[in-house]
Amino acid sequence: MMIHPWSAIAALLPVQGTMPLLLTAAPEVDSALVLAGVLLSLAVIYVASKVGGEICYRINLPPVLGELIMGVVVGISVLHALVFPETGGTTENSFIMQLLADTTSLDTQVAPETFAAISEVISTLSEIGVVILLFEVGLESNLKELLRVGPQALIVAFVGVVVPFAAGTAGLMTLFHIPAVAAIFAGAALTATSIGITSKVLSELGRLSSTEGQIILGAAVVDDILGLLVLAVVASLAKTGEVNVNQVVYLIIASTIFLGGAILLGRFFNSAFIKVASALKTRGDLIIPALIFAFVMAYIANAIQLEAILGSFAAGLVLDETDEREELQKNVIPVADALVPIFFVVVGAKTDISVLNPTIPANQEGLIMALFLIIVAIVGKVVTGAVVFGQEKINRLAVGVGMIPRGEVGLVFLSVGRSTEALSPPLEAAIVMMVILTTFLAPPLLRFVFPNPNEPSTAIAANSDANSET
């Protein structure tokens, strides 16, 4: 009957109230109701992702844009079907919590704890979703091609960090008379590139394995690491007035060893993976070893202060060389289909677009700064296409546009900047607007600069079959 954790077995400890309808025990969070709330949230997320994705597909836009927008619709900005405590959600304004209260035995005393538990599970599932997305992107990528375009990706990333940072910081100081530390933080927030959104759009356009796609992907990975360095520098600068050189050196060494090590040991991982997978006789013989590898690499990346998604991307990249790749991809696709939409809908749901409303007086000062930041954010990345060298028929505009979305990344700068109390409220709002608009503009812009998805101009023959499966 009741499927509950075996909460009662060990040591016969006091257990959670598993049957609250039958007994009026001390109020505790009921794990059955957490499950019910999570299932309901997932149903809302899936409906939103399909409605948004299908509409965008039909009007010839990347489906992920629809997932983001429908996320906004079901989220804190509009319907409140899916809200989170850390972005203003409460048990009172959450539709799912109200439905739980109306239809189940939810104890109102523990409603906030139940809400927090549901939100924690959904947030973590969305983060597992992007870990899986980057694993799949790694599988779709071609390590040799990525290494071939490595020098171009490096320079694209470098220019895409320096130009927006310099232009943003200088412009805020001279045009808006923002103090140096605040201007540096805002400039730093302009440097980031959201690898998740960029790679998903490229995959949907069938361009991930094109030369442009691989340059963008490589540059986004490098950008990720450069962003961590910039953040380490500006954070220590804001706190102590000095740059923490040790932290910067550590990050450079750790990221080099991690990515270099993954690539160098790739052949070993590969043959080990093949041996394990072919020895297994029970269900999940491919997907489970692959997930173990992806999750362990994600953990290691996290532990050495890089990011979980860099680890799973490296894992996918390594297994891309495997003979079993096609079969593995077939197994990963349904898992990704079930988990990845959670990430994009949750990103949308946590976005409060009221900050964009010009009729709210408090937004107006920020709007002018936001306009400046958005121009710098777009121009500063679009110019990076110009520095690609050694590629004749490259779509330079597409490379630059691919670097535009800031996604959640810019917000990490914001949260660090806020904790140092360097930023004024209008500047904070301006950064949020810049992040929202670059994120939501990038998918249609990318669609526009990659006009014909069925005739890739510079596709890589060796890997182009991967596109058809996505």
Work out whether 114 is an interface residue with a second copy (CB under 8 A).
Answer: no
Whichever of 251 and 394 has its CB closer to a second copy, that residue is 251
Which residues in 217-276 contact a second copy (CB under 8 A)?
223-224, 227-228, 231-232, 235-236, 239, 247
Give the nearer residue to a second copy in terms of CB position, either 93 or 271.
Answer: 93
CA atoms within 13 A on the CB side of 417: 29
333 forms part of the interface with a second copy (CB under 8 A): yes
Locate tokens 């630059």: which residue? Answer: 400
Which of 98, 104, 391, 457 lies at the binding interface for a second copy (CB under 8 A)? Answer: 104
To the nearest whole angstrom, how small is the minimum distance from the Cβ of residue 449 to a second copy? 21
Which residue, 350 or 396, is less far from a second copy as judged by CB?
A: 350
| CA 164 distance to own-chain centroid | 21
**Residues 301, 258 contacting (CB under 8 angstroms):** yes
For a second copy, give the closer residue by CB, 127 or 365. 127
CB of 174 to a second copy, least distance (A): 26
Tell me if 282 contacts a second copy by CB under 8 A.
yes
Question: Judged by CB, which is closer to a second copy: 159, or 195?
Answer: 195
Write b or e for each residue in 230-248: b if 16 or more Cβ atoms lie within 10 A of its Cβ, otherwise e.
bbbbbbbbbeeeeeeeebb
8 Å CB contact between 90 and 124: no
| Residue 424 found at the interface with a second copy (CB under 8 A) | no
**Cα distance between residue 36 and residue 42, in whole Å:** 10
Which residues between 46 and 85 bind a second copy (CB under 8 A)?
Answer: 46-47, 49-50, 53-54, 57-58, 63, 76, 84
Which of residues 27, 79, 105, 444 is near a second copy by CB under 8 A?
A: 105
**For a second copy, what does the binding mask look like between residues 192 and 221, x meaning CB under 8 A?**
x---x-------------------------
C-alpha distances out from residue 138 to 211, 272, 310, 319, 388, Å: 15, 18, 10, 8, 22
419 forms part of the interface with a second copy (CB under 8 A): yes
Candidates 154, 375, 379, 412: give the one binding a second copy (CB under 8 A): 412
**60, 90, 93, 103: which one contacts a second copy (CB under 8 A)?**
103
Backbone torsions φ then ψ of 406, nearest 5 degrees: -90, -30
- Binding of residue 381 to a second copy (CB under 8 A): no
Closest listed residue to residue 220, CA positions, set 26, 35, 399: 399
6 binds a second copy (CB under 8 A): yes
Binding segment for a second copy (CB under 8 A), chosen from 147-155, 317-325, 331-339, 450-458, is 331-339
320 touching a second copy, by CB under 8 A:
no
Binding positions for a second copy, 19-38, rule CB under 8 A: 19, 21-23, 25, 31-36, 38
Produce one character per residue of 173-205: b if its CB has 16 or more CB atoms within 10 Å, e if not: beebebeebbbbbbbbbbbbbbbbbbbbbbbbb
Under the binding rule (CB under 8 A), the answer on residue 316 touching a second copy is no
Task: Specify the residue, 394 or 429, whose C-beta has the smaller distance to a second copy.
Answer: 429
In the complex, minimum distance from the CB of residue 81 to a second copy, in angstroms, rounded to a whole number: 14
CA dist list (Å): 257 to 226, 306, 324: 15, 11, 27
Residue 307 within binding range of a second copy, rule CB under 8 A: yes
Using DSSP's 3-state secondary structure scheme, residue 208 falls into coil
Q: Left, alpha or beta for 112 (phi > 0: left; psi -120 to 50: alpha)?
A: alpha
> Quick one: DSSP state of residue 192?
-
Q: Which residue has the tokens 């048990």?
A: 91
